[in-house]
Structure 1
Amino acid sequence: MRQYTAVINPAAGGSAGAAVLHPLARLLREAGAEVEVSYSRSLDHAAELALEAGQAGRTVLAVGGDGMTGRIGGALAGTDTVCGIVPAGRGNDFARALGLPTEPGPLAELLLNGEPRAVDAIRLTSAVHKDTAVLGSVYSGVDAVANQNANNSRLLRGSASYYMGALRAVAGWRPAGYRLTVDGTEYERRGYTVVVANSGYYGFGRQIAPAAKVDDGVLDVVVLHHVPRRMFFAVMNELKDGSHVKRPEVEVLTGTEVRIEADRELPYGADGEIDASLPVTARVLPGALRVLA
């Protein structure tokens, strides 16, 4: 029977996480499993707690949204620790890409009896991140600004915060000049954003890279070229089903290592968190994380 350490941050959506974790932990314990709960002070502290639990031979449960999942999963990438994901955030996009259940019963069944699956991670290298791994995607452009707005919203939550954050970001956006280096080949592009995707989803269920797979050892690079604002919103609407990639204004490249540079200071985000400014290099880590999915 597995032994679990659930890592949760009570200060960052912790009430939602606790509401999800309590019935799940009860079902796991009723089945005979041991469940302990570790409370983190920050994402970095959550990573430390996860590593400690993994070194003790425990299965680590990441309780929260994409930020918590990405930070814990990234920390465990390259280790033998098995990770379970308890979706309890706003977006839950990596959990969505894995097809994870959200109801306590089916999720408990998966955590108790599921076999670990090897999935890819992304290694980031920048002025701030020397050796940081994330799971879902890395993005720099209007979406990074929008996500920053959503994270800073005090009045709105969930999809509403993303929607209003995007409106504010687009209103003040001017096209950026990007230099992309994909597996050694350089591309000069001008547009709204560049997304390096391991998972097909980001931004609360939007299918930014519909062909992306979390276990193919390849990163999908989606570039949204400069278009009039009215067309931009049409493209954003098509993210619901991934049909935007059929437009000539949307370009998709693939590679194992991608460097993003820009002609002005731009933020980049990863797994729902705004971390630093360009340039950044993203490299795929094939099969680096063992996750119950």
Structure 2
Amino acid sequence: MRHFTAVVKPAPGGPGSQTLIPLARRLREAGADLEVEYSRSLGHARDLALRAAGRGRVVLGVGGDGLAGRVVGALAGTDAVAGIVPAGRGNDFARALGLPGEVPDLAELLLRAHPVKTDAIEIESAIHQRTTVLGSVYTGVDALANRHANTCRALGAASYYAGALRAITTWKPARYRITIDGTVHERTGFTVVAANSGYYGFGRQIAPNASVHDGVLDVIVIHHASRLLFFAMMNDLKTGQHIRRPQVEILHGHQVRIEADRHLPYGADGEVEADLPVTARVLPQALNLLC
């Protein structure tokens, strides 16, 4: 029987505890050993994950994409086994993995599933030295929208829409320099996303053909267009149909460096990190995930 360590952000009554309490009951009733560690920050969550993995335990990231990314990402390149307990606003990487949303089904998966080799992303910028994330790295209007959304978390999922509206209505086109495996692409537009998985921003299918198992990043570039057309493309993200529009370009590669003609933030797994430039490189089969 498996020995689990769940890393969760302390928030009494929050979604993490609401999910973890019934899940813990089911795991323990099935005979599993489960301990819970409370993180003070994303950095602390990473340390807790490494410590638990060093003791041979299966590490569970309990929370949204940001916390799960740091907990699971900390184990990239090791033999440690990890799992994700989706308990955040977006849960986009969990969605890409096809994880069940109901506690009984999730408990059964964590107890019985075999680890699957899964890709991750390593990012590097002026203030971040080789941080591992899971789903995507994005910049431009997307990162601005996420920054605004994080200022109104009380709105829940609606915070994404409020943040996007504020970002788009004040946006001015940016000139990007995108270097993919040594080849430079100069583009003007709204956003650039280096995607390991297909989803971001609360279930939006930014890269519908991306796979977490192919060892390649899908690079989505949304070119300059009218705001009205951009809003239409944002609506298309619900189904992934935006990729059929001529204003959307899809590139592929293993290492992507993104620069811009002005100060712009970038984000990763739902967390705004810093300003450009940033380099993202795929880590093929770096994770052993229960999924």
**Secondary structure of the corresponding residue to residue 282 of structure 2:** strand
C-alpha distance after superposition, 1:188-234 (max 9, x if no partner): 00000000000100000000000000010000000000000000000
Displacement of 1:155 after TM fit?
Answer: 3.8
What SS class does the counterpart of residue 10 from structure 2 fall into?
Answer: coil
Counterpart AA for 2:288: R
**2 CA distance for matches of 1:39 and 1:179?**
40
Contact 1:6 1:37 in 2 (8 A): yes
Structure 1 length-normalised TM:
0.98
Alpha-carbon distance between aligned partners in 1 of 2:113 and 2:146, rounded to the nearest angstrom: 33
- Match of residue 209 from structure 2: 211
Distance 2:199 2:88 in 1: 14
Alpha-carbon distance in structure 2 between the residues aligned to 1:125 and 1:170: 27
Which string of whole-angstrom CA distances, capped at 9 and with x for unpartnered residues, describes residues 136-156 of structure 1? 000000010000111111541
* Structure 1 stretches lacking a partner, 5+ long: none
Contact 1:78 1:288 in 2 (8 A): yes
Give yes or no for contact 2:177–2:184 (8 Å, CA) kept in 1. Answer: yes
Q: Which amino acid aligns with 1:59?
A: V
Task: Tell me if structure 2 keeps the 8 A contact 1:120–1:198.
Answer: yes
CA distance in 2, matches of 1:145, 1:33: 42
CA distance in 2, matches of 1:102, 1:83: 17
Secondary structure of residue in 2 paired with 1:112: helix
> Aligned pair in 2 of structure 1 residues 93, 14: CA closer, same or farther (>3 Å)?
farther
RMSD across aligned positions (CA)? 0.9
Kept after mapping to 2: 8 A contact 1:178/1:189: yes
Does the CA contact (< 8 Å) of 2:72 and 2:83 recur in 1? Answer: no
Q: Write the letter of the residue equivalent to 1:9.
A: K
Local SS of the residue matching 1:153: helix
- The residue number in structure 2 matching 1:63 is 62
- Counterpart pick for 1:273 among 271, 274, 277: 271
- Residue 92 of structure 1: aligned partner: 91
**Cα offset for 1:102?**
1.3
1:29-178 aligned at under 5 Å gives the runs 29-158=28-157, 160-178=158-176
1:78-98 residue CA offsets vs partner (Å, 9 max, x unmatched):
111111110000000000000
TM-score normalized by the length of structure 2: 0.99
Structure 1 residues 199 and 117: alpha-carbon distance in aligned structure 2, compared to 1, 3 A threshold: same
8 A Cα contact 1:150 1:165, kept in partner: yes
Which residue in the other structure is 1:7 paired with?
Answer: 7
Q: Secondary structure at the match of 1:6?
A: strand
Q: Work out whether residues 200 and 212 of structure 1, in 8 Å CA contact, stay in contact via their aligned partners in 2.
A: yes
- SS at 1:203 equivalent: coil
Cα distance in 2 for partners of 1:154, 1:8 equals 18
In the TM superposition, what are the counterparts of 1:253-292 in structure 2 within 5 Å? Answer: 253-292=251-290
After TM superposition, give the deviation of residue 163 of structure 1 in Å.
0.2
Give secondary structure in 2 for the equivalent of 1:139.
strand
Matched residue, 1:193: 191
Q: CA deviation at 1:125?
A: 1.1
Check whether the contact 2:196–2:212 (CA below 8 A) recurs between aligned residues.
Answer: yes
Matched letter for residue 235 of structure 1:
M
Return the letter of the residue paired with 2:211: K
How far did 1:281 drift? 0.5
Distance 2:267 2:278 in 1: 10
Q: Structure 2 regions of 5+ residues with no counterpart?
A: none
Any conservation in 2 of the 1:8–1:14 contact (CA below 8 Å)?
no
Is residue 65–residue 91 contact of structure 2 (8 Å, CA) maintained in 1?
Answer: yes
Deviation for aligned residue 1:241: 0.5
Counterpart contact for 1:222–1:252, Cα < 8 Å? yes
**Contact 1:178/1:261, CA 8 A, preserved across alignment:** yes
SS in 1 for 2:36: strand
Q: Distance in 1 between matches of 2:143 and 2:263?
A: 12
Letter of the structure 1 residue corresponding to residue 162 of structure 2: M
Report the AA paired with residue 250 of structure 1.
Answer: V
- Report the AA paired with residue 123 of structure 2: L
Shift >4 Å, 4+ stretches: none
Q: Matched residue pairs, number? A: 291
